[in-house]
Amino acid sequence: MTDKIEILVNQFTKKYIDVLSGLKSHGIRSYGFEYEFLPLRVLTIQDKQSVCRLLPEIGFISDGDEYQSANGLRVSFEPGGQIEYCSPPLLKDDHLKFSSLLSMIHATNTEIKKRLNIEYVGTDYIPGRADAPLCLTSDRYIKMHNRLGEINTRGLEMMKGTASIHLHVLISCFDEVLPLFNRLCSISSFDEFKMSAQRRDIWNHTDSSRCGCPPCCFEQLASSSVLIQRLIRFALKADVIGENITFVDSADLSFNAFLYHMTTLFTDVRFNLKGPTLELRTMDSMPLDSFRIRWKKFIGLFENI
């Protein structure tokens, strides 16, 4: 088993580094956010479908499982009916664009409440949602729901009763991966960006193989390559959703299968190859005005990297 792990670690580390090393410089660094809001009442899948029907009426265009507006703001949903707004890339001085995005989020939530009597609130946790209906029925979420209903004690609350704000920093070249990662790990412990105590307790009792602090946060690593190797080793030992065996023991050991597997790991800081970005996942959801203050501070923490 040890030899098998080491072979996969070496293979996948090289391939992952090849992906990141092939990045062209994106010029000025950009940032982004994914902002979740919890429904004040328990939603059914029919409620979620009603919201989906409304979005094209108020300025969003359907794009697969998501909806997109002309300014680049995208809307998707989480398993408990949480609505999620994803920003386009933002430069540090895009103050007007940032404000317009928050205004659109507010207007959309207001219209949903007015037309459908569904009120979305910016808060970290609403209790009593573990047995709420599953509002996403793709194979991915059914398998996740089954997994989190069987392991530990609070995974279903995480899926359907919590909301967070994920903050993204663009990776423009491979050499900056380690310093950006270290900065995000540091920020995750700041009072303004860490999880509330009640949300942290939920995550601590969700699934230890895929949640929590990455294995290399707060360690003195020699290089970005070492960081990638450590994260891949962690992912190889995490259980595969739907199989409940570690990835290294699974049937499909392809790199594509591994990349998908990594999207099911919810550590406090993680890579997101769509950007590609590094992603901080600890900040609780909150009212829009409070987020304005946090956003400005977050961007300021990267001026010297």
Domain count, the chain: 1
Q: Flag whether 224 is in a domain.
A: no
Q: How does the average pLDDT of the chain come out, rounded?
A: 94
CB of 298 within 8 A of CB of 194? no
In a domain, 248, yes or no: no
Task: With respect to residue 238, please indicate whether it lies within any of the assigned structural domains.
Answer: no
pTM of the model: 0.95
Q: Residue 104's domain spans which residues?
A: 31-214+267-300
Closest to 188 in 3D by CA, of 61, 281, 49, 51: 281
| 172 touches 23 (CB < 8 A) | yes
| 249 in a structural domain | no
**107: in domain:** yes
For the segment 247-297, what is each residue's pLDDT rounded down to a tens digit?
999 999 999 999 999 999 999 999 998 888 999 999 999 999 999 999 999
Q: State the CB neighbour count (10 A cutoff) for residue 38.
A: 25
Q: Is residue 239 part of a domain?
A: no
Residues in a beta bridge with 86: 34, 74
Which helix (H) or strand (E) is 194 found in, with range? none
Per-residue pLDDT at 2 = 72
Q: Would residue 42 count as lying in a domain?
A: yes
pLDDT of residue 215: 86
Provide the residue-wise pLDDT of the chain in tens; the chain has 305 residues. 578 899 999 999 999 988 887 666 566 899 999 999 999 999 999 999 999 999 999 999 999 999 999 999 999 999 999 999 999 999 999 999 999 999 999 999 999 999 999 999 999 999 999 999 999 999 999 999 999 999 999 999 999 999 999 999 999 888 899 999 999 999 999 999 999 999 999 999 999 999 999 988 999 999 999 999 999 999 999 999 999 899 999 999 999 999 999 999 999 999 998 888 999 999 999 999 999 999 999 999 998 88
Q: Please provide residue 145's backbone torsions phi and psi, each rounded to the nearest 5 degrees.
A: -60, -45
